Amino acid sequence: VGASASGRQQADDPAVVQVFVDKGVVDTQPDLLRAIDAYFDAHANLTSLATPPAIVPGGESVKNDPDALEAVLRRIDEARLCRRSYVLVIGGGAVLDIVGFAAATAHRGVRLVRLPSTTLSQADSGVGVKNGVNRFGKKNFLGVFAPPWAIVNDTDLLATLSDRDWRAGFSEAAKVALVKDRLFFRQIAERAAAIRERNMGIALPIVRQSAELHARHIVEGGDPFELTHARPLDFGHWAAHKLEAMTDYRLRHGEAVAIGIALDATCSALCGYLAWDVAAEICDVLGALGLPAYDEALNDTERLLDGLEEFREHLGGRLTVPLLRGIGESFDAHEIKAARVREAVERLVATCKVRQPQRAAS
């Protein structure tokens, strides 16, 4: 079929595809593997499976495990993929990141098709150009910018997501609304309860709008590979990445982003850029979405502050942290005083700790 006897693919051969699936999806959607086989059987004139789908453990721990990366690369090798072959990955942001990194580096780049299976990956990471894994206790220390060949947001995949992971994705929707689209933030605020309760008719258009805003920023923002300092989509992320590492990834990325948003909104108010009632409203909306604005790890503020320098190193050049002047209006701050962060943490501890949402078991 797709691959010739020598393992090399001819230009007019059917497309050879190696599928990788998040174990969390396989466990909750047992018919999926059969459906994949049936799909490739039905389209055998156009495409073929290189080897049976490979199952990849889901969640952040896979990005911390060098053996997991090796296993994905080994499967790409065993499947005899070439640069005209395709890696198709179905999964949450963590599995998309590790498989995307392997695909981008094997043979200097095998074509990648993503089917994101979480709200976060459909609303944000799946439509992006970044791939990577964690090393040395640092998020995404190893990684590449590599645009995928295609992305398919199939919302049916979301049905089996846990409530915790369902909610976590909406912090990225809130983030992109806060930095780019005031009206969108209003919609999220008004619909927060229905989103949290998984009302699909209301929640899915929010996921879609978030994906569109993220994709538009990459395509039209003029800096898809982040060569300049401006990175508005990293709002709330300097603290988020540090909090994930500080909690040994007990916090989901989306939960850590919610706390990072609350912290940077509070810093924006403390520095006099943002009205206090707006900062308070942002924390309220996160709470209404069922997202935390506080975690006990914040109390180790000195360690948290190391996150600012790590963020600068990761992005390169001058420290650039997006802050807010209003909803939908971000700007780049090049300095955040440690004293301001300490004060912001104290305020979050005082105000948000008491109304922290119940976190479901993972």
> Which residues of this protein are in contact with ligand NAD, per CB under 6 A?
22-25, 28, 58-60, 63, 91-95, 97, 117-118, 120-121, 124-125, 128, 130, 139, 157-158, 160-161, 165, 168, 252-254
Count CB neighbours of 156 within 10 A.
Answer: 8
User: Nearest-CA neighbor of 47 among 86, 104, 77?
Assistant: 86
C-beta of residue 253 within 8 angstroms of C-beta of residue 278: no
CA–CA distance, 103 with 109 (Å, rounded to integer): 6
Which lies closer to ligand NAD via its Cβ, residue 211 or residue 279? 211
Which lies closer to ligand NAD via its Cβ, residue 18 or residue 131? 131
Tell me the closest approach of the beta carbon of residue 203 to ligand NAD, in angstroms. Answer: 14
What tokens were used for 40? 């490739």
Which lies closer to ligand NAD via its Cβ, residue 117 or residue 153? 117
CA–CA distance, 282 with 263 (Å, rounded to integer): 10
The SS3 of residue 111 is: strand
Tell me the closest approach of the beta carbon of residue 229 to ligand NAD, in angstroms. Answer: 18
Tell me the closest approach of the beta carbon of residue 92 to ligand NAD, in angstroms. Answer: 2
User: Nearest-CA neighbor of 172 among 183, 156, 161, 188?
Assistant: 188
Name the β-bridge partners of 143.
132
Tell me the closest approach of the beta carbon of residue 342 to ligand NAD, in angstroms. Answer: 26
Tell me the closest approach of the beta carbon of residue 213 to ligand NAD, in angstroms. Answer: 13
Which lies closer to ligand NAD via its Cβ, residue 57 or residue 328? 57
Tell me the closest approach of the beta carbon of residue 118 to ligand NAD, in angstroms. Answer: 3
Which lies closer to ligand NAD via its Cβ, residue 96 or residue 285? 96
Which lies closer to ligand NAD via its Cβ, residue 138 or residue 186? 138
Tell me the closest approach of the beta carbon of residue 21 to ligand NAD, in angstroms. Answer: 10
CA–CA distance, 225 with 147 (Å, rounded to integer): 10
Which lies closer to ligand NAD via its Cβ, residue 59 or residue 260? 59
- Helix runs in the chain, H state only: 23-28, 32-42, 66-78, 93-105, 119-123, 163-168, 170-180, 182-190, 192-196, 200-220, 237-246, 253-270, 276-288, 301-315, 338-351
